[in-house]
Amino acid sequence: MLQIAYIRENQEQVVKALAKRNLDAAEMIQKVIDLDEQRRATQVELDNILAESNKLSKEIGDLMRNGEKSKAEILKEKTAKHKERTAELKDVLNNVTEELTQELYKLPNTPADIVPEGKSADDNLNIFQSGEIPMLHEDAVPHWDLIKKYDIVDFELGTKITAPGFPVYKGKGAKLQRALISYFLDKNTDAGYKEYQVPHLINEASGYGTGQLPDKEGQMYHDAKDDLYLIPTAEVPVTNIFRDVILQENELPVLATAYTPCFRREAGSWGAHVRGLNRLHQFDKVEIVRIEHPEKSYEALEGMVEHVKEILNELKLPYRILRLCGGDMGFTSALTYDFEVFSTAQDRWLEISSVSNFETFQANRLKLRFKGKDGKTQLAHTLNGSSLALPRVLAGILENYQTPEGIVIPDVLKPYCGFDIIN
């Protein structure tokens, strides 16, 4: 979340920055400042009473040792009143602090200066495009027809076992899926990312730590009995590894990668844009996470963008990169780049990766800090990116690599698959 000290010192700038998200935050910010002033005033009064109580306790001790019991009893009456007021102030302080925290949770991150103005995905800025869009044969079809033709993904079976949006991968479809996961992880570890295997369920503290709660609780599967959530992305458990951690400056940067299944309740509406593998309730994804020095996080973000570009170049898929506008950015992000692969058979762009810098927004929730060379402790910057989300990458491969003889496997994946074509 945003730091209260920064809000207090930069009220107008914060309101202006959040307006780029099409959010009129003036009243919210004023409420936060008012609650913070109440919290600080209560804390000052509490500190003064506690100091006075300590002073009185010392005086009572001195009087008792000197045999002046009557004077000591008078002071004891005063300390009793102090105890009552202390209890009242502690209750007020706890309530105000909790209310302030909940108000801060409602505030999204402030966009970086280079985030473009805009209200929706239509206003995102196309900053890069690469790859030739292939000319497909006359009988080319979308991936949902291809997977039936070659019997590699079964949606009906997934519905039988679970519900719609939970596909079953079969035969060469399952092997291609596993090949993509292994390839992505190898690319990430070769680039210096440490691989983790993490739980697929998180507690509430982890959800709050990375900003999924309370913003996206309606999109997450929740086990009420144990109060645990199925993860929407590996970003959540991986980043929470470093919750309540103080790193040394020489330990930065921290680079981590993980493969996990991901679970999202809100899989979208009906229609071609959510058909087949385009949007699912359960899908596989390989994630990269970085913890960076604040002075180096934007350089690291550009490095992550180049890393994802290299993967897509090796897969030889046509893609573009968008800088998201204020109205289309995620709640926790300060700057996001979306990667989209062109689906030739669907004649549309499919989002397959988001790479974001959260600056101190997550770190403030996580209490993720580092100690500088000067001995001072400060919040780190966190970043993450999909590297990559599998369903739409798989859809792009199936559609763009289809031939009358079958679906040709990209050269870089052939060693992982053990076959050259799906036919």
Q: Taking the mean position of all CA atoms in its chain, how far away is CA 272? A: 28
Residue 353 in marked binding region: yes
- In whole angstroms, what is the distance from residue 8 CA to residue 359 CA? 18
CA proximity to 277, closest of 423, 414, 139, 165: 165
For 44-135, list the strands marked E by DSSP.
125-130
CA angle 241, 243, 245 (to 5 degrees): 100
Residue 266 in marked binding region: yes
Strand partners, 285: 260, 389
Tell me the Ramachandran region of residue 276: left when phi exceeds 0, alpha when psi lies from -120 to 50, beta otherwise: left
Cis ω for the linkage preceding 388 (within 30 of 0): yes
Residue 12 in marked binding region: no
Strand partners, 389: 285
Instruction: Give the ranges where 191-265 is alpha helix by DSSP (H).
Output: 204-210, 235-240
Greatest Cα pair distance in the chain: 107
Question: What's the first-to-final CA gap in the chain, in angstroms?
Answer: 51
Residue 287 in marked binding region: yes
Residue 356 in marked binding region: no
Report the relative pairing of strands 201-203 and 222-223 from DSSP bridges: unpaired
- In whole angstroms, what is the distance from residue 335 CA to residue 357 CA? 6
Length of the chain: 423
| Distance (Å) of CA 384 to CA 107, 119, 329 | 20, 24, 14
Residue 27 in marked binding region: no
Residue 351 in marked binding region: yes
**8 Å CB contact between 129 and 340:** no
CA proximity to 78, closest of 52, 103, 98: 52
CA proximity to 23, closest of 108, 124, 104, 114: 108
Q: Please enumerate, by residue number, every residue annotated as part of a binding site for ATP.
A: 264-266, 351-354
What residues are designated binding site? 233, 264-266, 287, 351-354, 384
- State the binding site for L-serine: 233, 264, 287, 384
